[in-house]
């Protein structure tokens, strides 16, 4: 039997028993729709966690001094100085090593005068400033065009008030979202877009008093500085800003703080496969790995994955029930069409032709049900996203969609629908192939 004839005969049979075929399609659609919906939701939420809430570089490891140390140990273990950085950089699998140094004194930040005058930003805002010095290469990809990530810091004199000029600073992209969605709305302040900030690259946004704490003055001399906007990056901490490493070193030295050892070193592996071995090598050298947001992201991702897997399993069970329903419907159909199958055999059709006819009918039912289920899942996802956007209050890091309907997901869903329908049709197809042409000819 040629494929065109097979398809025409299949279409005739499905139209003749349309009610049964429609019910079988509906059962498959429910299972596949639920499967596509829940897997797309899980993938979308994981993408939000990975890319927006906790953007983690899969190749990066944050090396920090050990939390507990009984001494410097062999080869200065536990001390992140230049010698330690050289040893870390030489580890097999390391592509780059970036040094970091915290500003080890208290500092307070206030809005720059022109923001208060021109944009009505309250001048009484006071924030504790946490700054981390990094190398320019660490944030080069996110640096605003035309901005040089370096300081013009001069030697500190006795008076020292003008020793630290304006420093380029980079903030977290997530900090902008928190400001726009939470702080700005609650305080009645204007929101700020990324294009507007890019246009403001190089402008002084914050005035800084070095040596001043949250409760006022300290025993340290007060020195003035300021921060100019240099861009937004996912590599900046949510609670602070990134400034040039040489500036952080100079500030620490000016206040008699440690300006030789680093607070952290970021190792970038050649590929994610090297990360487990690097982790062991770093820990064997006496250093710790700062998990921080990576650990939280992994825990949230694992919880989402487990929930998605449970819901997907439930959906697959629905698909199995649909397969049983298809098997039951086809068995009933085969019994009523026994003379038809016998006549096909008498006209020259082989057992395989008859079995394939039943399997093709089941396959079309499965594919149509799967396609309808996917369309229904997309419609439900669109409706739910619209409901959330209209009814749920704005929150930081809002995604474009909570669902991720990828091409592999659609193809896999259709494949499962096809397999479920074919599995349900195996027994009916075998029964149909055993139809006797002799009975038909005997009347």
Task: Give pLDDT, residue 203.
Answer: 85
**From CA 90, how far away is CA 243, in angstroms rounded?**
26
Tokens 């920090």 belong to: 64
**From CA 38, how far away is CA 308, in angstroms rounded?**
6
Instruction: Report phi then psi at 432, rounded to 5.
Output: -65, -35
| Consecutive H or E run containing 381 | helix 351-391
* Of 267, 251, 269, the residue nearest 259 (C-alpha): 251
* Of 191, 220, 174, 228, the residue nearest 51 (C-alpha): 174
**From CA 101, how far away is CA 366, in angstroms rounded?**
60
Confidence of residue 306 (pLDDT cuts 50, 70, 90): confident
What one-character-per-residue DSSP string does 94-151 give? EEEEEEEEE--S-EEEEE-HHHHHHS---TT--EE--EEEE-GGGSGGGSPTT-----
**From CA 365, how far away is CA 363, in angstroms rounded?**
5
Task: Give pLDDT, residue 309.
Answer: 86
Task: Give pLDDT, residue 312.
Answer: 85
Structural contact between residues 330 and 425, judged by C-beta atoms closer than 8 angstroms: yes
| Count of Cβ atoms closer than 10 Å to residue 239 Cβ | 9
| Consecutive H or E run containing 172 | strand 166-172
* Of 54, 23, 4, the residue nearest 397 (C-alpha): 54
What average pLDDT score do residues 271-296 get? 84
**From CA 264, how far away is CA 79, in angstroms rounded?**
10
Mention every residue, 6+ apart, whose C-beta is less than 8 A from residue 282: 61, 63, 88, 91, 267, 289
Tokens 């069970």 belong to: 317
> For all residues of the chain together, what is the average pLDDT?
82
| Domain limits, the chain | 3-55+297-442, 60-290
160 Rama class: left (phi>0) / alpha (psi -120 to 50) / beta = left
Question: How far is the CA of 221 from the CAs of 106, 157, 211, 325, 370, in angstroms?
Answer: 11, 12, 6, 81, 72
Structural contact between residues 276 and 114, judged by C-beta atoms closer than 8 angstroms: no
Tell me the helix, strand and coil percentages in the chain, rounded to 5: 55, 15, 30
Task: Give pLDDT, residue 307.
Answer: 85
pLDDT at 172 over 50: yes
Mention every residue, 6+ apart, whose C-beta is less than 8 A from residue 77: 66, 84, 285, 286, 287
Confidence of residue 162 (pLDDT cuts 50, 70, 90): very low
pLDDT at 52 over 90: no
DSSP 3-state of 434:
coil
Task: Give pLDDT, residue 397.
Answer: 60
Convert the pLDDT of each residue in 77-135 to its tens digit: 568 999 999 999 999 999 999 999 999 999 999 988 887 887 777 778 888 899 999 99
Structural contact between residues 173 and 396, judged by C-beta atoms closer than 8 angstroms: no
């Amino acid at each position: 039997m040629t494929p065109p004839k097979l398809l025409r005969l299949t279409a005739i049979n499905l139209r003749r028993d349309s009610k049964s075929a429609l019910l079988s399609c509906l059962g498959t659609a429910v299972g596949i729709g639920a499967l596509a919906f829940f897997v797309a939701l899980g993938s979308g939420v994981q993408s939000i966690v990975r890319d927006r809430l906790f953007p983690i570089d899969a190749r990066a490891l944050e090396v920090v001094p050990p939390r507990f140390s009984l001494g410097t140990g062999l080869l200065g273990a536990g001390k992140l100085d230049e010698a330690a950085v050289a040893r870390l950089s030489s580890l097999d699998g390391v592509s780059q090593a970036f040094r970091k140094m915290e500003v080890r004194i208290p500092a307070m930040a206030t809005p720059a005068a022109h923001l208060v005058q021109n944009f009505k930003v309250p001048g009484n805002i006071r924030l504790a400033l946490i700054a981390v010095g990094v190398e320019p290469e660490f944030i080069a990809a996110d640096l605003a065009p035309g901005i040089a990530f370096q300081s013009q810091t001069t030697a500190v004199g006795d008076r020292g008030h003008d020793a630290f000029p304006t420093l380029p600073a980079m903030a977290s992209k997530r900090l902008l979202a928190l400001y726009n969605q939470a702080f700005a709305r609650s305080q009645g302040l204007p929101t700020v877009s990324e294009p507007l900030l890019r246009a403001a690259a190089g402008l002084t946004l914050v005035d800084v008093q070095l040596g001043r704490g949250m409760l006022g003055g300290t025993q340290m001399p007060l020195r003035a500085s300021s921060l100019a906007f240099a861009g937004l990056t996912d590599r900046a901490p949510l609670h602070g800003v990134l400034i040039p490493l040489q500036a952080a070193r100079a500030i620490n030295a000016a206040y008699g703080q440690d300006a030789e050892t680093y607070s952290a070193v970021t190792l970038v592996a050649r590929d994610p496969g090297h990360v487990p071995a690097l982790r062991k090598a770093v820990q064997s050298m006496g250093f710790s790995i700062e998990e921080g947001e990576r650990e939280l992201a992994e825990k949230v991702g694992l919880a989402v994955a487990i929930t998605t897997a449970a819901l997907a399993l439930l959906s697959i069970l629905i698909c199995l029930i649909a397969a049983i329903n298809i098997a039951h419907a086809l068995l009933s159909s085969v019994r009523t069409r026994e003379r038809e199958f016998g006549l096909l055999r008498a006209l020259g059709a082989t057992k395989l032709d008859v079995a394939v006819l039943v399997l093709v009918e089941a396959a079309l039912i499965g594919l149509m049900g799967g396609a309808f289920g996917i369309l229904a899942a997309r419609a439900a996802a669109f409706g739910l996203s619209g409901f959330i956007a209209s009814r749920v209050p704005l929150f930081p890091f809002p995604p474009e969609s909570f669902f991720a309907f990828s091409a592999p997901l659609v193809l896999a869903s259709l494949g499962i629908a096809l397999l479920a329908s074919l599995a349900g049709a195996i027994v009916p197809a075998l029964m149909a192939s055993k139809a006797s042409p002799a009975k038909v000819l005997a009347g």
